[in-house]
Structures are given as C-alpha cells and as structure tokens.
Amino acid sequence: MSGMETRGMGTLLKRIRFGMAWREAPMKFVLKWIVNGAIVVCLLMYYAHARFWEAAIAATLLTIIAYFIGDQFILRRMNNAAATAADAVLAIVYLWIASYVRDWNLDAGEILWIALILGIAEWLMHRYLFGVDFEVQETT
C-alpha cells in the first residue's frame, strides 16, 4: 500500500473506533448507574435511614457527576487507577455534602466505606467489563 492509502486506512479505523465508542457510551452510563445506584441506595438507606427516593436521587446525581468527570475526562486522559481514585474522592466529597444538605446522619467511616465499595466496583467495571487497562492512553 502506498503512504496515502495507509493514512486513509488509519483515518477510517479511527472513525470506526470513535463511532463504536460513541454508541457504547449510553450503555456504559446505564451500567454505571445501575451498579453505583444499587450500592449507594442500599448503603444510604442502611446508614443514613434515607428514604428510597432520596437515596435514588442522590445516587443518580453522583453517577452523572462521576461519569462526566471520572469516565469522560480523567479516564480518557490518564488510566484506570487515576479515574477510580478520582471517583472515590468525588464520592466522599459528594456524600459529605449530600449528608449535610439532607441532614443525614452519616459519619466519616460510613462515607469512606461507601466510597471504598464504589471504588472497587468502578475498578472492576473499567477493568473487566469495559476493557480499560492501567496503561496511559495516547492521544493524537
């Protein structure tokens, strides 16, 4: 193949990969929402005695924020470990604020426990379901 054909093929492959990633994004978000929602709702109802809808709304907001910051921004630029750590820190800050605003009786240990479980779930999802490794992804 000539240089022109090779560049054309590379561009085509990049477009195909981008198109596939774009179509997979909603499914990844839904899966993240289900997993994070199950963890956060159950633990908020248990620890904070939150009502189901309060916990579900809190879990949904946390998932939206974590998806855009952790998965769309950090994971694309760094690696799974950095995105997982960022998601855990984000969960701690978010739950602390939500606990204060909603007057939930969450202490630091309970918030850390929820964040730890979320971090483990995030790492497992990125590693085994989404196929993201610990390598830094190059951008062009």
- State whether the Cα torsion 70-32-97-114 is positive or negative: negative
Count up the domains in the chain and report the number. 1
Establish if 12 belongs to a structural domain: no
Q: Are 118 and 130 in contact (CB under 8 A)?
A: no
What is the chain's pLDDT, residue by residue, as a tens digit (140 residues)?
444 444 555 554 444 444 445 566 678 888 889 999 999 999 999 999 999 999 999 999 999 998 888 878 887 788 778 888 888 899 999 999 999 999 999 999 999 999 999 989 988 887 777 665 545 455 55
Q: Which residue, 76, 87, 90, 89, is CA-closest to 132?
A: 76
CA distance 1 to 137: 28
- What was the pLDDT predicted at 132? 53
- What was the pLDDT predicted at 93? 96
Establish if 90 belongs to a structural domain: yes
CA distance 33 to 57: 11
Establish if 11 belongs to a structural domain: no
CA angle 27, 28, 33 (to 5 degrees): 95
Containing structural domain, residue 100 = 27-129
